[in-house]
């Protein structure tokens, strides 16, 4: 990981990511003069400026707009200009839009509820437009945010990634976003990595977020909380969800948990598996007693290094790729028109190599799709590694050697 420079000081980027509170004053001064920080991933060229972005009480570093391709490929601020993102499709009716000022997200969940004349609660009325925008599920938003932050990419230069890194990358992308018309920092709290030295600051920041979740004059304001799940335990009235970054509990009905178990089955089955992680986006509201009630949620399965995965077998493959310091990406579906979506793409081979993890053998539709993708790869001369989990142990799968000296 490279160094960054601001306020007359050069420090490792990782330290800024791990300890954001330590650098608040210096980043505040640099935000005023000269108005940016500098990434030192390259030498002999003009310094690469970084945006200093405020989110809540802290400041974070983000890549300069349209400048991501200038960074080294193993730099956190590198943006591959050849990678198409879900927000780059140019559809003004899309649920998640990339704008010059940041993401603009329309969720299918209401963040503000108002009582109707009959006393029931309904969504806040929306402003009509000539062409109505679609809306995104919590899971679609979570997956898109993860991809925008580059957390579906592994550069091969490290063997681990912790929550502090995820938090920093996520905040760099979401800092200026709008969610259902509201500023992201007012409605979305991304949990900070726990640090005993900053316990009071972390708790105060979260308490300030919770204080905005009010019910007043028939209007209820909800919020979104993003963190890694450590436990889902039954209670007398339902279930309590705990996030690894805090001791706070989030209470959910049995019906919601049962729905989540069906909807996010792979993630739910991974609880207790030390080789995997589960990240959740919780839609919460505060009860009259001050508890946080979960009214909806999305759960995303990840590898140990927080690479998103679609099954526990993909987790095993991702963990192996990270352990072997391979450079790879986990693709996400950009549009229904995608005709090729491998489980992983090795980016340190020439040409790039697709990796497929086959775990639903015998299912007619799955087998047909498998044959279709194999034919497409053959026609396009794309090399592939295929792991059939029923016929081969993971350690027996032969991966092509890395042929690119600098990971990408």
- In tens, the pLDDT along 248-264 reads 999 999 999 999 999 99
Per-residue pLDDT at 57: 80
What's the total number of domains in the chain? Answer: 3
CA distances, 25 to each of 131, 143, 154, 164, 170 (Å): 45, 33, 31, 19, 21
Nearest Cα residue to 212 out of 108, 125, 284: 284
My answer on whether 254 and 373 are in the same domain is no
Nearest one of 323, 291, 300 to 395, comparing CA atoms: 323
333 in a domain, yes or no? no
- Asked whether residue 313 is assigned to any structural domain, the reply reads no
Co-location of 66 and 90 in the same domain: no
The pLDDT value recorded for residue 157 is 74
* pLDDT in the model for residue 100: 76
In a domain, 126, yes or no: yes
Q: Which residues contact 188 (CB under 8 A, 6 or more apart)?
A: 174, 179, 223, 224, 225, 226
Residues 133 and 265 reside in one and the same domain: yes
Q: Do 49 and 171 belong to one domain? A: no
Q: pLDDT per position in the chain (408 positions), as tens? A: 789 999 999 999 988 988 888 899 999 999 999 999 999 998 777 889 999 988 888 888 998 888 888 998 888 888 877 665 555 555 778 899 988 778 899 999 999 998 765 555 555 444 444 468 899 999 999 999 999 899 999 988 777 899 988 998 999 888 889 999 999 999 999 998 888 877 888 888 899 999 999 998 889 999 999 999 999 999 999 999 999 998 899 999 999 999 999 999 999 999 999 999 999 999 999 999 999 999 999 999 999 999 999 999 999 999 999 999 999 999 987 555 567 889 999 999 999 999 999 988 778 888 898 999 999 999 999 999 999 999 999 999 999 999 865 444
Domain stops at, among 277, 303, 329 = 303
Please check whether residues 168 and 106 belong to one and the same domain.
Answer: yes
Give, for 5, the enclosing helix (H) or strand (E). Answer: strand 3-6
41 and 98 part of one domain = no
Is 67 strand, coil or helix? coil
Distance CA 78, CA 347 (A): 15
- Indicate the length of the chain as a whole number: 408
What is the reported pLDDT for 132?
A: 83
Same domain, 126 and 212: yes
The residue from 17, 36, 70 where one domain ends is 70
317, two tokens: 């493959």
Last residue of a domain, one of 256, 283, 303: 303
Residue 319 lies in a domain: no
Q: Is residue 315 part of a domain?
A: no
Query: Residue 406: inside a domain, yes or no?
Result: no
Same domain for 243 and 383, yes or no, is: no
Range of the domain at 236: 86-303
Are β-strands 153-154 and 112-115 bridged in parallel, bridged antiparallel, or unpaired? unpaired
The reported pLDDT for the residue numbered 83 is 63
Q: State the virtual CA torsion across 131, 137, 143, 145 in degrees, nearest 10.
A: 60
Cis peptide before 34 (omega within 30 of 0): yes
228 neighbors 243 (Cβ within 8 angstroms): yes
pLDDT of 140: 94
The pLDDT value recorded for residue 337 is 55
Q: What span, in angstroms and rounded, lies between the C-alpha atoms of 256 and 254?
A: 5
What was the pLDDT predicted at 176? 86
**Predicted structure pTM score:** 0.89
Same domain, 171 and 216: yes
Statement to judge: residues 93 and 163 lie in one domain: yes
Q: Answer yes or no: is 271 within a domain.
A: yes
Q: 217: exposed, middle or buried (C-beta count within 10 Å: 0-12, 13-18, 19+)?
A: exposed
Encode 165-188: b = buried (16+ Cβ within 10 Å), e = exposed: bbbbbbbbbbbbbbbbebebbebb
Identify whether residues 96 and 49 lie together within a single domain.
no
Assess whether 115 and 261 both reside in one domain: yes
Rounded Cα distance between 231 and 54, Å, is 31
Position 87 scores a pLDDT of: 56
Can you give the C-alpha Rg of the chain in angstroms?
A: 22
**Helices assigned H by DSSP within 229-309:** 254-263, 265-269
Q: Does residue 370 lie within any of the structural domains? A: yes
Q: What are phi and psi of 88, to 5 degrees?
A: -100, 15
């Amino acid at each position: 990981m490279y160094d960054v420079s601001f306020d007359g000081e050069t420090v490792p980027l990782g330290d800024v990511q791990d300890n954001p509170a330590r650098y608040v004053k210096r980043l505040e001064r640099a935000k005023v003069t000269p108005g940016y920080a500098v990434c030192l991933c390259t030498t002999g060229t003009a310094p690469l400026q970084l945006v200093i972005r405020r989110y809540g009480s802290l400041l974070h570093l983000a890549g300069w707009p349209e400048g991501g391709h200038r960074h080294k490929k193993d730099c956190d601020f590198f943006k591959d200009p050849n990678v198409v993102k879900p927000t780059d499709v140019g559809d003004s009716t899309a649920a998640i839009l990339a704008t010059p000022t940041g993401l603009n997200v329309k969720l299918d969940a209401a963040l503000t509820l108002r009582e109707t004349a009959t006393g029931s609660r309904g969504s806040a009325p929306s402003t009509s437009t000539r062409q109505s925008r679609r809306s995104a599920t919590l899971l679609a938003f979570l997956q898109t945010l993860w991809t925008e932050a580059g957390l579906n990419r592994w550069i091969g230069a490290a063997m681990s990634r912790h929550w502090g890194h995820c938090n920093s990358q996520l905040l760099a992308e979401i800092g200026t976003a709008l969610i259902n018309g509201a500023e992201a920092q007012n409605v979305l709290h991304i949990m900070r990595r726990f640090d005993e030295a900053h316990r009071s600051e972390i708790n105060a920041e979260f308490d300030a977020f919770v204080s905005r979740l009010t019910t007043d004059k028939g209007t209820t304001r909800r919020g979104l909380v993003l963190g890694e799940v450590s436990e889902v335990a039954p209670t007398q009235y339902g279930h309590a969800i705990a996030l690894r970054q805090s001791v706070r509990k989030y209470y959910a009905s049995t019906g919601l948990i049962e729905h989540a178990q069906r909807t996010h089955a792979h993630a739910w089955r991974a609880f207790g598996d030390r080789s995997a992680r589960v990240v959740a986006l919780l839609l919460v509201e505060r009860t009259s007693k001050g508890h946080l009630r979960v009214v909806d949620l999305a759960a995303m399965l990840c590898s140990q290094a927080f690479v998103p995965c679609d099954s526990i077998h993909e987790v095993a493959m991702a963990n192996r790729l990270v352990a072997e310091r391979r450079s790879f990406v986990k693709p996400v579906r950009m549009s229904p028109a995608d005709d090729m979506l491998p489980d992983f793409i090795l980016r340190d081979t020439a040409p790039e190599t697709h990796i497929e993890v086959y775990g639903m053998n015998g299912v007619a539709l799955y087998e047909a799709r498998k044959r279709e993708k194999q034919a497409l790869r053959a026609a396009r001369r794309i090399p592939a590694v295929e792991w059939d989990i029923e016929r081969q142990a993971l350690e027996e799968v032969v991966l092509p050697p890395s042929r690119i000296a600098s990971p990408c």
